[in-house]
Amino acid sequence: MRIGFIGLGVMGAPMARHLADAGHEIVTVLNRSPLPTDLKATVVASPAELARMSEIVITMLPDTPDVERVLLGQNGVLEGLSAGKLVIDMSSISPIATAELAAKIREAGAGYLDAPVSGGEVGAKAASLTIMVGGPAAEFERALPIFEKLGRNITLIGEQNGAGQTCKIANQIIVALNIEAVAEALVFAGKAGCDPARVRSALMGGFASSRVLEVHGERMIARSFAPGFRIRLHQKDLNLALESARALGVALPSTAMAQQLMNACSGRPDGAEADHSSLVRALEVLSDHELSKERN
């Protein structure tokens, strides 16, 4: 089918490529990111034109205002929608804003799914993303063949729009606190005189083992902070968590602490653009100990 894909960034580009490789015709509109040389796609002038040409529209954008602008702004997707089309937002944005966007899209006779993902650039390239979906079951079933080209763990969280975004916020809370825990453990071990690399290797064989310890623990030790998932994007997700928690009357004390550590990292030159594993640098400053690149 003809799929409009908006947002060809670090994750969006490989996702669109998988859909093209599966035989779908991709239509896109260029903004911050150029068209990848290995992606065959039709480039149009506006999201409205893209929506008019496409059966399904997918957005993969950084933040809530970006999605609102693309969907509802001048020459936005909404202007090109008609009955029977389906909008799938795979960005990570506010659950409250998601419900409002869905209502406006449905007024045009189109369907709407919020389907944020987890797995980062690696998962996008490997088509192994976790996809968390909110929206009617019938629309989920319609989109499932597309999701299956992008990910492996695909779950309809609830039939109300915003359920997928709520699940993604929960995911980001868990990931942030795991990164913080791994950073604390490695800085503690390093300052105590142990080789952090050997400590990590030992912990990988026990109950403390995790994907964060495996991947981000190695990044911390190797000082490899080129972005897979940027600090500023995780800050945005934790802001959504804290805003939603205030609205719900839920206490998220550890999430607030992780956010403050990320804030400290963002104060460094290019800190906001570094990988979220660089959260360890805030703890290193507090502990007056930087993990060594050297292995004993």
How do beta strands 86-89 and 56-59 pair?
A: parallel
Final residue in a domain of this structure, among 143, 160, 177: 160
> Which listed residue (40, 85, 149, 168) is catalytic?
168
Is 248 within the bounds of a domain? yes
* pLDDT single digits (tens) 123-156: 999 999 999 999 999 999 999 999 999 999 999 9
Catalytic, 293? Answer no
Final residue in a domain of this structure, among 160, 189, 218: 160
Determine the pLDDT at residue 293. Answer: 54
| Angstrom distance (rounded) from CA 60 to CA 91 | 5
Q: Shortest CA distance to 93 belongs to which of 163, 39, 34, 165?
A: 165
Instruction: State both tokens at 244.
Output: 């939603």
* pLDDT single digits (tens) 26-41: 999 987 778 998 999 9
Final residue in a domain of this structure, among 160, 192, 211: 160
Host domain of residue 253 = 167-287
Number of domains in the chain: 2
Q: Shortest CA distance to 10 belongs to which of 41, 43, 32?
A: 32
Same-domain status, 180 and 148: no
Same-domain status, 13 and 148: yes
For the chain, counts of helices (H) and of strands (E): 13, 9
* pLDDT single digits (tens) 86-109: 999 999 999 999 999 999 999 999
